[in-house]
Amino acid sequence: MTDEESAMTAISRPRWLGLCTATVVLAVLVLHGCASAPPHDVATPDVISQLSVQADAWDKAILRKDRAAIEQNMSEDFRQIDGAGNVEAKASFVDGLTSPDLQIDPYVVEDFDVRVYGDVALLSGRTRMTGRYQGTPFTSHYRYIDVYVRRQGQWKVVSVQISRIPN
């Protein structure tokens, strides 16, 4: 080996060692990431079950007109977007549900689905609702999505949006 080749080898050896070291560090980090806990947004059966039970309890509270139970499931900054695109805040939403003018018959949620993304969950379904408003019978068929957020370990509904389905 010539003096020039020896010099080039001596210069490139630290580069090569640095590259090898960086590769090993990167591999360790990647493998550590694979071995760590699953991502937070994995929807465990317990979380899905908890949200399903909570949504069912909220539906039953609405039928009973149990204001305290309805409000307990809702965040303070709750908003509803109705089928006509109107936005309603928590107080007026609860007032409307608990009004003596509104009587909702028992109903079944169809196509119920829960999707969890970390501390946010989307609960959706389809409902055929009947009842009376100011004594006049009504029928409503709609899809909905309820957005829940987990804050301080508790799931609360922050938003509801409904889309009417033509009869």
**pLDDT at residue 167, rounded to an integer:** 76
Tell me, what's the pLDDT at 27? 38
- Relative to beta strand 136-151, strand 120-133 is antiparallel
- What lies within 8 Å, CB to CB, of 139 at 6+ separation is 128, 129, 130, 167
Q: Which long-range contacts (CB under 8 A, 24 or more apart) does 120-128 make?
A: 120/147, 120/148, 120/149, 120/150, 121/47, 121/51, 121/147, 121/148, 121/149, 121/150, 121/155, 122/146, 122/147, 122/148, 123/51, 123/52, 123/55, 123/148, 126/165
pLDDT at 19 over 60: no
pLDDT tens sequence across 44-53: 899 999 999 9
Q: Tell me yes or no: is domain 45-164 CATH 3.10.450.50.
A: yes
Given a cut of 70, whether residue 4 has pLDDT beyond it is no
User: For the whole prediction, is pTM greater than 0.85?
Assistant: no
Task: Show the tokens assigned to 91.
Answer: 């107080």
Among 64, 129, 72, 70, residue whose Cα is nearest residue 94: 70
Average pLDDT, the chain: 83
* pLDDT in the model for residue 1: 53
Residue 17 has pLDDT above 80, yes or no: no
Full DSSP string of 135-148: TEEEEEEEEEEEEE
Would you state the pLDDT for residue 33?
A: 42
The residues spanned by each domain of the chain are 1-36, 45-164
Mean pLDDT, range 123-147, rounded to an integer: 97
pLDDT (tens digit per residue) in 28-79: 333 344 333 344 456 789 999 999 999 999 999 999 999 999 999 999 999 9
With pLDDT > 70 as the criterion, what percentage of the chain qualifies? Answer: 75
